Amino acid sequence: MSFDDRLKDSLRVLLQEETKKMEAKAREEALRMEARTKQLVEAEREHFLSQLSQLIPNFDPSMLKLRISQSPKNPMSDKASCSGGDVRSLHFEDDIAKNGKHQEDEEKEEEKKDEEKEEEKQDEKEKEDEEKHDDKVIEVGDYSNMEAPSSLKTLCRYVETTLVPEDKTLQFTIDKEVFGRERDTFLLPEDITQLAGMEEIGATVVAVYMRYLHDVLKQANMCSMVGFIDPATVSANSGTIADRS
């Protein structure tokens, strides 16, 4: 065997011995810590029992000490082996647990009833809001005799019955007598949804909106390009055209 091989074997044996020593030392330390922990727990337990003996008249520390030190796997066998005082104590603890559970169940039942009442109130409120909305929708003006293009009549009816004040957009076609040949389809943006929230809607809303649109086009010098009529010449009540721009 060469010198290198002998050196390797010696190092391996030395390493194994050191490892065994370290493992044994660790086990001893763990056992010492466990024993120390048990001593501390026992000391705390004795101190606690002595305090109970001072605070509670006729307190028997041996009863509680027996329960703490023993933890049988079968609680029924432990209950059968207890003395009369232990049995009464166990019954008392069972009663406390049952009463606490009963009270907790009652609180949960009360909370459930409150939640149901709150849901009923919310449902009633939503139902009332829907009825109010339905009442508003039913009150639709009669535009059959209004002197205006049919597309404007359709728009007025749509505003009163369908349009919601959110982000809905309406696309409709207006007769060429209102817009020029190049612009017979117009996209009504969500601005009109704000006007639709007014009490007086229909032709008035359309006239107000066209007034606003005309001002925008006028500033951009685009009125003649789209053949737009000055809405000031349009009657808000009848929708008739008094003059062309």
* Of 38-52, 133-147, 149-163, 227-241, minimum mean pLDDT range: 227-241
Whether 42 shows a pLDDT value over 80: the answer reads yes
Q: Is the pLDDT of residue 144 over 70?
A: no
Is a pLDDT exceeding 90 seen at residue 51?
A: no
Over the chain, what is the mean pLDDT?
62
For the stretch 73-94, pLDDT in tens is 554 444 444 444 454 555 555 6
Q: Please report which confidence band the pLDDT of residue 27 belongs to, taking 50, 70 and 90 as the band edges.
A: very high
The residue assigned the tokens 């000031």 is: 232
- Residue in the structure block whose two tokens are 């107000």: 208
Residue 153 exposed, middle or buried by CB count within 10 Å (0-12, 13-18, 19+): buried
pTM of the model: 0.23
Query: Could you write out the three-class secondary structure of the chain?
Result: CCHHHHHHHHHHHHHHHHHHHHHHHHHHHHHHHHHHHHHHHHHHHHHHHHHHHHHCCCCCHHHHHHHHHCCCCCHHHHHHHCCHHHHHHHHHHHHHHHHHHHHHHHHHHHHHHHHHHHHHHHHHHHHHHHHHHHHHHHCCCCCCCCCCCHHHHHHHHHHHHCCCCCCCCEEEECCCCCCCCCCCEEEECCHHHHHCCCCCCCHHHHHHHHHHHHHHHHHCCCHHHHCCCCHHHECCCCCCECCCC
* Residues 158-164, mean pLDDT to the nearest whole number: 56
53: which residues sit within 8 A by CB, 6+ positions away? 59, 61
Lowest mean pLDDT among 44-53, 201-210, 229-238: 229-238
| pLDDT at residue number 212 | 56
Q: Which two tokens stand for residue 214?
A: 């005309």
pLDDT at 24: 92
pLDDT in tens, 169-225: 555 555 555 444 444 444 444 444 444 444 444 445 555 556 555 565 566 565 554
